[in-house]
Amino acid sequence: MRFPHRFALAAVAASAMAAFSAPAAAQWKPTKAVEMVVPFSPGGASDQMARVIQAIATKHKLIDQPIVIQNKAGASGAEGIMDVKASSRDPHKVLVASTAVFTLPLATSLPFNWRELTPIAMIAQDQFVLWVNAETPYKTPKEFLDAVREKPGTFRMGGTSSKREDQVITASVEHGAGVKFTYIPYKGGGEASTQLVGKHIDANVNNPSESIAQWRAHQVRALCVFDDQRIEFKAKVTEQLSWADIPTCKEQGLNVQYTMLRGFFLPGGVSKEQQAFYTDVMKKVVETPEWKEYLERNALKPQFVSGQAFTEFLTQDETRHRDIMSKAGFLSAAAR
């Protein structure tokens, strides 16, 4: 009568040993090419960042499958965003995102909310600079804004597109300083910088990478940075100045702060394992020397945020944009 009992114990022991020695479940990995959707034109900041990450991931073998960059710039970025939204449960499609995930739906009634996607991570932020032509007499924001205040609506502020980051910053300056600009939208920051050099506009609020060549050539002057802290990079860009030498606008009496997220999303409906895979890839990307070199070369603000902290950031940033755009009258009827 004791044999069956001993056989049962042996069976339990064998089962336990098998469970202990069995390999852990394999981590999810892409099984085909990963499509990285850039909702802007080739050559822009988002496109450049995507291609740097593509090169880093390939060089360091962070993804076994090829990464294919797809530029879908139609409708000011809406085409790319809606393409990823329509790809529910597809873990082989990644959206390269900026604050357009807020500004487009708020300004245009685009039937989209970032909560319909799966956040991966924010890997950097763009800081913005108030630029004037170097031949003008303005050395500080106060000098410039005093001149604008004397002739409201006659000073021309250039920027990328309408009701996006550049015009949002312009509206914040108008509200905070009690001034009024004529805003002129261009296809990109590069064009806005060229127009400033040619004196077709009086100022722009480009991010650093869009005006670095003109600054180095002494064609434009940086008055202040729209952030609560200076750009951190201390290597000289001009003969005398580094990015870190540019004061914040708040230091100069203009209390306007604005940064733009650089992040990534998967479509909705993907698994936690698939989300975790890409979060881990991005974490490894930002630790590489190539990425750190890219950040300094383009004066991007290093900031890696993932998980619940990223979701909380997105919630707060959406509220911030809604408030600014509401005050500026940029909200669509559906978003009010």
Residue 160 and residue 224 in one domain = yes
DSSP-assigned states of every residue in 120-135: EEEEEEEE-EEEEETT
* Any domain includes 116: yes
Residue 242 and residue 269 in one domain = no
Percent of the chain with pLDDT over 90: 82
Global confidence as pTM: 0.86
* Any domain includes 279: yes
Q: Which of 240, 257, 274 is the last residue of a domain?
A: 257
Residue 118 and residue 133 in one domain = no
Q: 72 lies in which domain range?
A: 34-126+260-335
Indicate which CATH number applies to the domain containing 207.
3.40.190.10
Q: Is the pLDDT of residue 121 over 90?
A: yes
Q: Is the pLDDT of residue 282 over 90?
A: yes
Angle among Cα 95, 78, 305 to the nearest 5 degrees reads: 35
Residue 43 and residue 163 in one domain = no
Q: Is the pLDDT of residue 56 over 90?
A: yes
* Any domain includes 6: no
* Any domain includes 277: yes
Q: Which long-range contacts (CB under 8 A, 24 or more apart) does 110-116 make?
A: 110/78, 110/81, 110/82, 112/78, 112/81, 112/82, 112/85, 114/265, 114/314, 114/318, 116/85, 116/268
Residue 267 and residue 253 in one domain = no
What is the residue-averaged pLDDT of the chain?
A: 91
State the total domains in the chain: 2
* Any domain includes 28: no
Residue 137 and residue 188 in one domain = yes
Q: What is the mean pLDDT of residues 191-215?
A: 95
Q: What is the pLDDT of residues 3-39, one digit of tens each?
A: 344 434 444 444 444 444 444 446 999 999 999 999 9
Q: Is the pLDDT of residue 104 over 90?
A: yes
pLDDT at 322: 94
Residues 6+ apart with CB under 8 A from 88: 267, 268, 269
Indicate which CATH number applies to the domain containing 68.
3.40.190.150
Higher pLDDT, 90 or 74: 90
pLDDT at 68: 98
Residue 42 and residue 97 in one domain = yes
pLDDT at 14: 47
Q: What is the mean pLDDT of residues 156-182?
A: 94
Q: What is the mean pLDDT of residues 168-180?
A: 95
Residue 321 and residue 227 in one domain = no
pLDDT at 92: 98
Q: Which of 257, 283, 318 is the last residue of a domain?
A: 257
pLDDT at 62: 97
Residue 220 and residue 133 in one domain = yes
Residue 43 and residue 149 in one domain = no
* Any domain includes 12: no
pLDDT confidence tier of residue 83, bands split at 50, 70 and 90 = very high
Count of C-beta atoms within a 10 Å radius of residue 308: 9
Alpha-helical regions (H) of the chain: 2-21, 45-59, 78-85, 100-108, 141-150, 165-177, 189-197, 208-216, 272-285, 289-298, 307-328
Q: Which of 257, 274, 296 is the last residue of a domain?
A: 257
Residue 84 and residue 51 in one domain = yes
Q: What is the mean pLDDT of residues 269-288?
A: 98
Q: What is the mean pLDDT of residues 167-171?
A: 95
pLDDT confidence tier of residue 45, bands split at 50, 70 and 90 = confident
* Any domain includes 18: no
> Is 291 exposed, middle or buried (CB count within 10 Å of its CB: 0-12, 13-18, 19+)?
buried
Residue 95 and residue 139 in one domain = no
* Any domain includes 273: yes
Q: Is the pLDDT of residue 300 over 60?
A: yes
